[in-house]
Amino acid sequence: MFTSLRPHPHTNDRYQAHAQRGGHRPAGNLKGYQENFLDIPLPLPQVDDKFKDQIAPLKADPSKSELEYTHFSVVMNKARRTAMFTACNVDGAKYNEQPRDGKWDFDPRMDSKYQLGNEAYSNNDFDKGHMVRRRDPMWGPDAHAGSNDTFAYTNASLQHSGLNQHKWLDLENHVLSLANKYERKVTVFTGPVLKDSDPSFDNKGKLDVPTKIPMAFWKVMVWNEPGEGLKSESFVMSQEDLVNGRAKPPSSDEHVQDFAPYRIPLAKLEEITHLDFGNIIDSPTTQAPVPQPPGSGD
């Protein structure tokens, strides 16, 4: 993957966006995901026509569905009340560490009936799993806004703590550390695998309207390979055994170093997610060393 890449010259891109402290009521000129970020157009993934009626609309304009934040965007599934997918621009050359001081809140630009709040995550084994990890949009002069924006409930999913705090975190570190190491721009798409067969969940009656628990989560990292175009690697990690009690969470000393077992062909991922990722090339599996970014855990 990135072992063949060389650092690109730094650019002076600026994203003018602001998020109010203490909540997720975005203000100002939020630009969200930028499709030309990698210098080759890469639009948001397209939802299969058969599933477009599952997309949650915005309040201000029901014909639109993209929630734009600082350096990332979210498209929601209205029945499952979780993301269909998220799309984040990551600039490893401008990584800018920020304190974790965001507060979970609903996004008022979308009806709260399409969002799962804290009642789904209280007193159980599920974390508010960041689909866009907190550190991915944490770059440039708007790094703090990017960090805080990830605490919108629209960016959370029912992710078992045994996955979120272990293998999934290792995968997140793998992706961000490569961008940071090579000071490169990367686009990251992330989301849950949503199936009709997923188990129903009302958190012991705390949810007036039950939802379902995703049994797996996926991630695609995309970069611009000079002379070759947009390349990608795709991953899927299951939480089924953790949810069903057939597996225990790994110890804090266990870390994933080889991500090849979690690779999935892009065509297969498109099939199970009902998404079209556009003009990106599926790259061969590599086993590059994984340098860790500053900090951990989010």
pLDDT in the model for residue 252: 82
In a domain, 36, yes or no: yes
In a domain, 14, yes or no: no
In a domain, 12, yes or no: no
The strand pair at 156-160 and 126-130 is best described as antiparallel
In a domain, 93, yes or no: yes
In a domain, 44, yes or no: yes
In a domain, 6, yes or no: no
In a domain, 287, yes or no: no
What is the mean pLDDT of the segment spanning 265-288?
Answer: 84
pLDDT in the model for residue 1: 53
Spell out the long-range contacts of 45-52 with Cβ–Cβ below 8 A and sequence spacing 24 or more.
45/85, 45/87, 45/189, 45/275, 45/276, 45/277, 45/278, 46/275, 46/276, 46/278, 47/75, 47/84, 47/274, 47/275, 48/274, 48/275, 48/276, 50/274, 51/274
Q: What is the pLDDT of residues 195-215, one digit of tens each?
A: 999 999 999 999 999 999 999
Instruction: Give the CATH number, domain containing residue 141.
Output: 3.40.570.10
- The H-or-E segment that residue 222 falls in is strand 216-225
pLDDT in the model for residue 9: 37
**Which residue from 96, 56, 73 is spatially nearest to 180, judged by alpha carbons?**
96
Q: What is the pLDDT of residues 18-76, one digit of tens each?
A: 333 334 545 434 789 999 999 999 999 999 999 999 999 999 999 999 999 999 999 99
C-alpha to C-alpha distance for 279 and 289, rounded to whole angstroms? 28
Q: How many domains, in total, are found in the chain? A: 1
- Expressed as residue numbers, the domain containing 206 is 26-282
Q: What is the pLDDT of residues 132-173, one digit of tens each?
A: 999 999 999 999 999 999 999 999 999 999 999 999 999 999
Look up residue 114 and give its DSSP letter: G
pTM of the model: 0.88
C-alpha to C-alpha distance for 293 and 73, rounded to whole angstroms? 23
In a domain, 87, yes or no: yes
What does residue 133 show for φ and ψ, rounded to 5 degrees? -65, 150
